[in-house]
Amino acid sequence: MPDLFTHFVAARVPGAFMPDRRVQALFIVGTFLPDLVSKGLYWVTWSPVNFMAPSHSIVPAALFCYAGALLLEQRWRERAFAALYGGSLLHIAVDLIKDNLGSGSACLLYPFSTVGTEFAWIDPENFVLLIPIDAAILALVWLYERKKAVQVHVQQ
């Protein structure tokens, strides 16, 4: 898995264009959900089974995002589900770019297929090399949000 910082940066880029900060926050939480679900199930059940396949798949991601959206008020549930699910799909997409030694970093069609998929563009052992790139992207997002906030403040 790419590191959590890379997942955070990947969520901040589209999140910067979301007008509602609450939806943006749910999108970022959704980006961490696949790993939270897989690690949470592993540590809670102490199972020898790896939960990466069910948590890093399109259908189960929709189910746990739906469950997460049910924790919020009725009027927020549709937006919450969309934000959580969008973030989860982004997480799965970011995980697809790593090399997982040919076993696939995500089983996209689980439970209908257990075939793993990966693009193998990035060696997961060298994710530290992504930190300067991530920091630069995060700085650009921060500058964009700052400029946008100044423009809104001037208009008022």
Percentage above 90 pLDDT, the chain:
29
Q: Is the pLDDT of residue 102 over 60?
A: no
Residue-level pLDDT at 48: 67
Residue-level pLDDT at 78: 94
Residue ranges making up the domain that contains 8 = 4-155
Tell me how far CA of residue 18 lies from CA of 10, 14, 78, in angstroms: 14, 7, 15
Distance CA 96, CA 121 (A): 9
What are the tokens at 15? 């999140």
Q: Is the pLDDT of residue 39 over 50?
A: yes
> For the whole model, what pTM was predicted?
0.81
- The total of structural domains in the chain comes to 1
